[in-house]
Each structure stands twice: as C-alpha cells, then as structure tokens.
Amino acid sequence: MLWRSKGRLISAAIIIFWLVMIALFLRREGILPYLSAAHRPLSPRIMHPTDTWMGIFFGGAQIGFVNTNTTPDSRDGKIGTALSVTAKIHLTLLSSPTEIYLAGSAWIPQDSGIAQFDFKVRSSDHTMSVAATVEDGILNAEIHTAGEVIPLKFPVGKDLLLSGAMGTTTLNVPDLKKDEEVFIDTFDPMTFSMGKTRIKCVGEETLDVTGQQIPTKILTTTLNGLTSKVWIAANEEVVQAETPFGFSLRKVRPQEAFFRTEAQEPQDLLNVIGVQPTGQKPFRGATRMTIRLTGIVPENYPPVDTTQTAAENVYTITMAQAPAEQEVKPGDEQAEYLKADAFAQADHPKIQQVADNAAGSETGRWTRALAIYQWVYDTIEKTVVFSIPSALEVLETLEGDCNEHTILYTALARAAGVPTRIAIGLTWSDELNGFYYHAWPEVYAGQWIWMDPTLGQPIADATHIKLLNGSIETWPQLIPFLGQLKIEVIAIE
C-alpha cells in the first residue's frame, strides 16, 4: 500500500502473514489440535482443568502471550471439553508499534453432537468476530462485522480436526513413536478452509520448562507447505513450538507472560517476508518485466493469463492496454465473479447503493470499473490495518491498506455488474527496494485487466507478480512462497 504522505508500500502479506500465523501457528501448527473422538478414546488429560501460559517470541524478543484453558464439561447430557484462549501480540511494522488481540472459545463433544466455537480479532478500532457450530460435517457460522451479521454455511467433513481449537494444549494427540506419522483433515476457523495436516514424530528431548526438566517428544506438523516443530510433554501438553519464520512459543509462568523488553523492539515483519531480487533492478511504472522464479516446486508455479505468461519458471508480465468498451451484460461466463461472498458482500444494500453512486450514469463495463476505482482510491485513507478485511467494515471505517482497498473494490465492482476477482502476489517498492506481498483486483472487460486502487494505478504496472487468485480462503496457499521464493529480473522496461 502506498501512503500518500510517506510514499511507502505496505505489503498485503502483513495481514495475510499474521492471520496465517495466528491461525496456523498459534492455533494449529504450534498448538497441535485434537482428533475426532471417532479416532481414539478421550485423552485422560482433559479430564482435569488446565490453565497454560505461553510467551510468544520473535527475533529474540518476547512480543506477546497466549493463555489457554480447558475444562471438562457437559452440555445437553453430552460429555465434552470447553476451551478458551486469550492472546496479545505486539508487532513492529515500518518502525511503528501495533498490537493485536485475539480471544475465542469452543466446546467439543466427546462423541457425536454439536461442536461450537467463536473467536474475535481486534486491532486498533477494527474488530471482527465469528460464531459457528459444526454438526454432521456441516459448518454453520455467523460473521459479525460493521454492525452486520453475515451467514456462512458449507461442508467440512465428519472426521474433523478443529485446527487447534484455540488452545495451546493438545487433546487426543496420537501417541507416535519416532518416524511415525499421521495425516488428518483440518478445518481452520480463521481462514474458513480445509486442508490435510501431517503430524510426524522426529525425536525426543528434555527441556527446561519453568524451572523443571521435562522429557518431551518432538513432533512436526505440516499444512499448506509450512512445517512447524512442537515439543510435547508426557501429559500431551505443548511446552514449546517453533515456525520457520523465527516465531516461537514457550511455556512460561503467568507472571512472565506479560513481560516484554521495551528497549528491544522485535524485528520488522517486512524484513522477514520481502523478496530481494537479483539481476536488473525493477522500477515502479514498468510496462514489461521478465523474471525467473526459483525456490518453489513446479506445482506451486503461479498462474498465467493475458497479462502474465510463462515458459516453465520464466514469467513475463506485460502491462495491459485499456480495453475496448463493453456494455454490462449479466449472465455471461464470468457470472461467478459477480457473486457476493462472506467478505465481499456485493448484494448488501449499503454496497449496492455506494456502487450505484460511484458508477453514476456509466453503462460500459470498463468505464464503470474505472469510476469505482477512482471512488475507492480517493475515499479510502491509506493506513495499516490488522484485520480480516470485510467490505462492509471498510465501507464503515473508510481506511485500510491493500486488503481493505481490494475487498471493498471487489464488492462494489461486482455490485455494479463488473466481474471482479482478487489477485494476491508481490509488487515492487522503490522506497523499500524489494518485492513485497500485495493484493489487487482484476476486472473482466473482454479480458482480465489488473487494477490497483491502493497504489493509484487504473491499470497495474508490470512489477506486479500474481501468485494466486482468490479471497481469504486462499491465503494459506501463500505459505509455500514465504521465505522460499527467489526472483531474478531478466529484463525490465
């Protein structure tokens, strides 16, 4: 995101990365989940209440804590476990301090029945919460944002692993021996997506845990290409966890959880997830760029279209030309990209009204797309926002970075009859001298045209590299690129 006053790019990966870290690391990867009771008997551990405090560390500094509780419970005559989590994370972004708060709870039946969970993420004045139930393989949820309640329903499968259940304790973790592994279907309530988690025992180690020598098993958990390591005590409690990005969890005493050395600010997140290219130096406004991508496996190679073409791992991005005008015609082959979803609420009356006002009397698809682009660029204040982006909330706050610009633009454009999809990838920053993760919309006007209402580009320049298309549910697919992708710029003009 380009700050008008400071000329800085704020990467979309700041939102993406931290949502993924919260979802995958704090609540899934570093905090191993429990298995469905169909797989094995209820763990003896959860027959007793637990209260666990973990410090969160990054770059040698403690940046926050997560506190979890589990309590044996019964509801409607069914035995189960109640869980709760509270977390606070202090971040540094472009030398600016930011804090994120997360709170959630869940109730999980031992046998068949309705599982319930809810969570809330808050940063500054931005809050989003989700309440949901899972029964017979169907998730029913309500997303609360900007004073609105958005329903969401989809199948998640019956053999469900509820991605950490918001706890730092493990429930029904398989008793694996060295080199043994299991694969489990996983649902993540932070990203509303399903995945296959691989859990493997890689060894044993004795750790000093709050002054005691504790024998542990070392397990790795892998999902969406990200492998984290956890140390599990004999009572199935996670006492330490690490991710490849330098984030770690460690069990601490309650009085140590709130400790943070003010003089030692954690490393800036942008330095962790940016990509410094080799070869020729890019520049903002380029019309054509050819790059070679390495560090990723072929199945993770980015998509191609009329703007981004490829020959194996060599990609050429060519800035599009303004398309010939088209009238808006409903019901064409791009109808999928006119639909509302849980976060781009194109069918909501508030969104439709703003779309009508922004598009005005324009009847052509491209001119309507441009009119909405201009409204979003002019109206949304450029600022860093740590939130799950929702078009309705952005419309209420009128601020945000590339995620907020993109999700609001997508909702408004779809409401105006312009097929729109979201691209997630990287773009070049002259100020930061590197490629940083970013999101932007694409509109269909005879062909897919990349736009960037965050950076003030009606047609996105050729330093945009698309890694994937999709909304929130696709964010975890960025994980294989983080810290792995290497870019060589072969030609730039």
Domain ranges of the chain: 17-257, 274-492
Chain position carrying tokens 């050429």: 316
Percentage of the residues of the chain whose pLDDT score is greater than 90: 32
Query: d(Cα 475, Cα 277) in Å, to the nearest integer?
Result: 23
Q: Identify how many contiguous H helices and E strands the chain contains and give both numbers.
A: 7, 25
**CA gap 191, 445 in Å, rounded:** 30
Burial of residue 346 (CB within 10 Å: 0-12, 13-18, 19+) is: buried
At how many degrees (to 10) do helices 349-359 and 402-415 cross? 80
Query: Hey, which bits of 287-373 come out as E strands?
Result: 288-294, 308-311, 314-318
pLDDT at 35: 28
| CA–CA gap between residue 346 and residue 330 (Å, rounded) | 14
pLDDT of residue 5: 26
Collapsing DSSP to helix, strand or coil, 350 comes out as: helix
Residue 272 above 80 pLDDT? no
CATH number belonging to domain 274-492: 3.10.620.30
Q: Give me the pLDDT at residue 16, please.
A: 31
Q: What pLDDT does residue 333 have?
A: 66
The better pLDDT of the pair 484, 160 is held by 484
- Token code pair at residue 321: 């030309």
Calculate mean pLDDT across residues 259-271. 57
State residue 21's pLDDT score.
40
* pLDDT band (50, 70, 90) for residue 274: confident
d(CA 56, CA 95): 19
- Partner residues linked to 241 by β-bridges: 230, 249
The two three-digit tokens of residue 134, written as one number: 């899972």
CA distance 356 to 73: 51
pTM, two decimal places:
0.73
| First-to-final CA distance of the chain | 23
CB 313 within 8 A of CB 301: yes
How far is CA 306 from its chain centroid?
27
- Cβ 310 vs Cβ 292: under 8 Å: no
Mean pLDDT of the chain: 77
Q: Which ranges of 96-231 would DSSP assign to H, the alpha helix?
A: none
Q: Counting every residue, how long is the chain?
A: 493
Q: How far is CA 461 from CA 47, 368, 468, in A?
A: 58, 20, 17
Helices (H), 362-428: 365-379, 391-397, 402-415
Average pLDDT in the 466-493 region?
83
Residue 191 scores a pLDDT above 60: no
pLDDT score at 27: 29
Q: How many CB atoms lie within 10 A of CB 278?
A: 11
Residue 289's pLDDT is what? 98
Average pLDDT over residues 386-405: 84
Mean pLDDT of 307-330: 88
Question: Which residues have C-beta within 8 Å of that of residue 341, sequence separation ≥ 6?
Answer: 471
Q: Given pLDDT bands bounded at 50, 70 and 90, which one contains residue 121? A: confident
**Which has the higher per-residue pLDDT, 425 or 169?**
425
* The Cα angle at residue 324 between residues 305 and 465, in degrees rounded to 5: 25
DSSP characters over 229-288:
EEEEETTSBEEEEE-TTSEEEEE--HHHHT---TTSPPPPHHHHH-B--EESPP-TT-SE
Interval 192-226: pLDDT, tens:
455 677 888 999 999 999 899 999 999 887 765 66
Torsions phi, psi for 483 (to 5 deg): 75, -5
